[in-house]
Amino acid sequence: MMEFGKMALKEATEKMFLKRLPALGGDGGLIAVDREGNIALPFNTAGMYRGYIKKDGIKVIYIYKN
């Protein structure tokens, strides 16, 4: 979706995990990073453990929707 649809990381991952996947009866989530360091953490479940480390070394951790 990013390459052929010319979408940004956040737009592409949210479209897939918040619209297309549920329409097919699926659920799940993704931790995605693009080549520019942008991060997307979409999921369509009640909660998902996820995290990343910022450039300055600060750790960011999430469990449920924020």
Average pLDDT per block of 10 residues along the chain, 66 residues long? 93 95 94 94 92 94 79
Q: What is the pLDDT of residue 66?
A: 53
Tokens 């910022």 belong to 54
For residue 2, give the nearest of 44, 38, 52 by alpha carbon: 38
Q: Which CATH architecture has domain 9-64?
A: 4-Layer Sandwich (3.60)
**In the chain, where the domains are located:** 9-64
pTM: 0.81
Tokens of 49: 């453990």
Q: Work out the burial of residue 42: count CB atoms within 10 Å of its CB; fewer than 13 is exposed, 13-18 middle, 19 or more buried.
A: buried
